[in-house]
Structure 1
């Protein structure tokens, strides 16, 4: 994701002339808008936002914050009809509530070569109330595939701190999106552009004395115009974090207010201010490195361990084994003392308990505030504490750094849960000041399968499967096995439908190991036609289908960690079998050696060996890699699904 201050470029003149397949890019609906029923840039689009316009300003008479919204949308598929239900949230405060005015909606259809208009009726405007906001629903009439609808309204608000953000991107492609703002000089906002697209127009000017108050006070306004064109739809796909990291938009955060009487109210704070605040925070700083909170908690046999790293691991396992995470992330009402007593706590409490136990034994430990993958990336431009919803620890032992989280029993010392792999966090050093900490994992997480088909008799193979899962690939099997070993083995038998499991042994499951290993003795009946065996050697598949299916992806491919997969099959041909046909070897390398796979087969000493190795050398791939990864994965899936070895019975 890219977040940056908006800079001023030369104004690019944008006309209202039609472009992009002759759609009319304004609020007027023409015959060509209704006759066209496709969008060349995205043949899968359910709808096309032809024109999207916003104008937000402070009214000179009422001093309300007003946002004027206009939109024109073409329905291309049946699924796009749902866009005709417009939902608008009007927030409620203690003394004021937001309002909506001047609602105008029209549906346009082409009937007998004539444009037919159907107006939005008051009876199709619905309101739902709750404590925080009023949800207004506008239901456009007579919508069908081929329709165009326009909608306009004005949102009015007293909440100046909630300056209207603007979303250029949506789940459907947008031809033209324009946002205009007028911000009085006595309101200072941080303005940031989120997402991977540049503005086509970024124009600003100063309007003198745009706002006047009684007594002669006045303010100049910063008037800005932002435009994006031909914006592709944001479409969800796997291997990513929350959509909110990447959808292109402009956001506003109030920094300070300059009152006409000379007072200054600073809203945003510096990290120096936040550090000072958190150091004395009852829910955080006052529960860091406090021996009184964990008095007589740690067993003496752990305190007596002389090796520093082994002692740290023992303390870590003590917390894992004796204190349960309640699956909550709350940063408020944190009580390490309560967690010690009740043996259960949220992520902040569990990890602050660990911090206290480690620091009490002389370790250098720093809390690191992070945002989980599902919560979005915290902004680096200015402090926003609500961006952070989780706490981990950084430990330095014998000159080596470790990230720690004791919430999950399957975690190895130095590992974080997958939910925490979100690029960076804020390391809280209450002595020298906090700073941004990049959370990078250099180690690969691996899956390796070694299959030996030792004998072939009575038209079936007898084989041994050995599987090893390391680091993040070990988390799920470890957790599943620790929860219920019997169920784990039953599920494995149901999953491996092409073999019959005769014996299943799990070797390594504990949190003192980064690995999970198992062996399976099995029998398998291959496909026989006459005396020939047509054998797909992939008993197990790393990827059943290609996960990358979009025409275009505009956001990164985020695996979270580096990946490595290895599959080796050995067939002892013995006296009963001979090779008739082997598949061709194949290699593929991603640009800049960012990943690769190797596939090969050979026969030596009456033994057939197949090797398939896949490697992803980056945890996060930029969107430019998408088409390469798409081709890469299609080849991987094809090899696994379509490879056939032809053997013959002697």
Structure 2
């Protein structure tokens, strides 16, 4: 029987590697194996590793504070991981109470000449810094850090803020072997508990402890004691095409639903949407501003008011608000909202501008409703129960001739029916104070697209010149308009800088208006070719959609969120006349993502003295599940390779 020695060698080396990694991930105690282990095979890129961490939250039986005891044991694998020895504890304060951090202890362990050297943190090296009026930072840095060090630190948090029970993050920017959180919650407090991030718990157990909390006059409460454990948690590494990482970091969070004191008095903190709708209807910054009528005849021209086509009228009202009022870059959707001040000052926050848009459209006979949403950087809004504080943006939905349009007048370059990219975060809450609010999907039916048509001539003196026609739609057009109209000269200079081998001239923008749905431009080009003897080597992709693959992770555990469906088209037509013959053209290729989720096609055709090469790329989904990541990664590799290495070889006759 033949034995593959190479396979055996790798298996042996793998065994050695794993045998060298004998981390004690079940305890806070530092062992000799923790110090001797020097690698982490599961993630060779990791510069540090959490071997063990534990949090324990409970209500103090004497002072009724919420106490959280935490312990961390971390291995420093590389110099780049030294920053994990710099610890910051965030404390919240209000007019009524302050959080405190006590019993801070920290130790660095090193193995030197076979001896374990312990270096303790001195109290004088613990610093307190006021961050803002509601936040204080406690900072310290563990001493004597080296590659191979193991650090431990622990402290106790004391808080009077029971509204939000202490949350716990199982995942961070470095991998973890063991993350454990135990809680003891008296029955007086009833919380909505959310496990976020989609990762499975290794252990999730709860039991009731009778009479865990006893007060004077015979009052007592039972406690729900829970233990949550996750193991082998990969590092969370941010990459392109994602919303905020808070949507995906594995963690547990709490929000108080009800509190009942020992006299039986019960307070409800989680409300129904019916209750919230009623509160918003009466709210001075939302409902009352929406209810106030505006003088449309004073603000709008007769041309707009007399327009009989509902869609055209809505578009003109929208353009009026866009052109005459400026967003002050503030969100503050639930405060400082005043349509009256906006009309006077010509500037206001998000709610003021879009509520004015809502009122003018309503006054013009258009069916409109406001929509609350959370932007991509703000995280997903909770759907299970109302959490108004999670919303940070307001837009308008207009219904015209059976079609719905989402509108935002804060951006002067947006087309009618478009909303900012930051608003593409899945869903929003449509407010209807008569029939009740409801969730709506924030989805785009039409893909955004980039289209290039390059026409090039190669004369008998080996000079390449021609014309480029570009048409952008959707968000690609929006980005181009925002780059072009504020400073046309800068726009053209940047375009020239991106194409150093090409000389651009006669640049023209053919589309009209800074809020036109398309952006169309054309320009002439001259560029150099690569000449070797009688041969000319030419890459047809003088303009590239992707210069590199944005997907570089070994594994991605969160969705690939482009925000919208996307299309790319590139046509390169080369007229080489009678002086040359074609020896080689780019290789044809057709590639599909699984389940028809995307297509890649490159093809070339030769007709007489003309060669035409076409590249089509389609992303048929706005959001791809993590299991599509390896396919998208390879898909992008192919795109970059095609654009970089495609070749046309011509020879002089």
Cα shift at 1:456: 1.9
Question: 1:299 matched to which residue of 2?
Answer: 301
1:164 match:
166
**Residues 1:21 and 2:21 are matched in the alignment:** yes
* Aligned-residue offset at 1:188: 0.8
Q: Which residue of 2 aligns with 1:357?
A: 360
Give 1:509 shift.
4.2
Quick check: 1:488 aligned with 2:507? no
Residue 505 of structure 2: SS of its match in structure 1? strand
The match for 1:194 is: 196
Asked if the contact 1:289–1:355 (Cα under 8 Å) also holds between the matched residues in 2, the reply is no
* 1:111 equivalent in structure 2: 112
> For residues 180-329 of structure 1, what are the structure 2 equivalents within 5 Å?
180-292=182-294, 294=296, 296-329=298-331
1:294 and 1:340 in contact (8 A); partners too = no
Whole-angstrom CA distance in 1 between matches of 2:148 and 2:591? 44
Q: 1:323 Cα shift?
A: 1.2
Q: Secondary structure at the match of 2:249?
A: coil
Residue 80 of structure 1: how far off its partner (Å): 0.8
Cα distance in 2, alignment partners of residues 292 and 410 from structure 1: 25
Distance 1:103 1:58 in 2: 20
Match of 2:14 in 1: none
CA contact (8 A) 1:481 1:509 kept: no
Deviation at 1:79, TM superposition (A): 1.3
* CA drift at 1:349: 1.0
Deviation string, structure 1 residues 346-378 (Cα, Å, up to 9, x no partner): 111111111000000111101000111111111
Partner of residue 142, structure 1: 144
Tell me the equivalent position of 1:408. 411
State the secondary structure of the residue aligned to 2:283: coil
* Preserved CA contact (<8 Å) 2:294 2:360: no
Q: Which residue of 1 aligns with 2:529?
A: 526
**Aligned-pair CA distance for 1:265:** 1.2
Which range is displaced more, 284-293 or 545-554?
284-293
SS class of match (1:312): helix
For CA contacts below 8 A with separation 6 or more, give which structure has more relative contact order.
Answer: 1
Task: Give the equivalent residue in structure 2 for 1:434.
Answer: 437
8 Å Cα contact 1:293-1:337 kept in structure 2: no
1:626-647 Cα shifts (integer Å, max 9, x gaps): 1111111111101111111111
- The TM-score normalised by the length of structure 2 is 0.95
Once the two structures are overlaid, the 10-residue window that deviates more, 422-431 or 576-585, is 576-585
Cα 1:114/1:509, change in 2 over 3 Å: farther
**What is the CA deviation profile of residues 269-289 of structure 1, one whole-angstrom value per residue up to 9, with x for unaligned ones?**
111111000001110111115
The match for 2:624 among 611, 621, 625 is: 621
Distance 1:188 1:20, change over 3 A: farther
Q: Distance in 2 between matches of 1:617 and 1:481?
A: 28
Deviation at 1:170, TM superposition (A): 0.4
Does the residue aligned with 1:513 lie in a helix, a strand or coil? coil
How does 1:474-553 map onto structure 2 within 5 Å?
Answer: 474-511=477-514, 513-553=516-556
- Matched with 2:69 is 68
Distance in 2 between the 1:425 and 1:608 partners? 49
Instruction: Kindly indicate whether the alpha-carbon contact (under 8 Å) linking 2:485 and 2:514 is maintained by their aligned counterparts in 1.
Output: no
Which shows bigger deviation, 410-419 or 19-28?
19-28
Deviation (angstroms), 1:171: 0.3
Residues 512 and 103 of structure 1: CA distance in aligned 2, closer, same or farther (over 3 Å): closer
1:88 to partner: Cα distance: 0.6
Q: Which runs of 5+ in 2 are unaligned?
A: 1-17
Q: How many residues align?
A: 633
| 1:391 lines up with 2:408 in the alignment | no
Label 1:261 to 1:551 Cα distance change in 2 as closer, same or farther (>3 A): same
1:344 maps to which residue?
347
Rate the CA distance shift 1:156–1:293 in 2: closer, same or farther, 3 A: farther
Q: Deviations over 1:14-69 (max 9, x none)?
A: xxxx9993211111212221111111111101100010101000011121110010
> What is the alpha-carbon distance in structure 2 between the residues aligned to residue 392 and residue 35 of structure 1?
57
Q: CA deviation at 1:525?
A: 2.0
Range that drifts further, 455-464 or 118-127: 455-464
What's the Cα RMSD here?
A: 1.5
Name the residue aligned to 1:55.
56
CA distance 1:289–1:305, change in 2 (3 Å) = farther
Q: Is the 8 A contact 2:20 2:36 kept in 1?
A: no
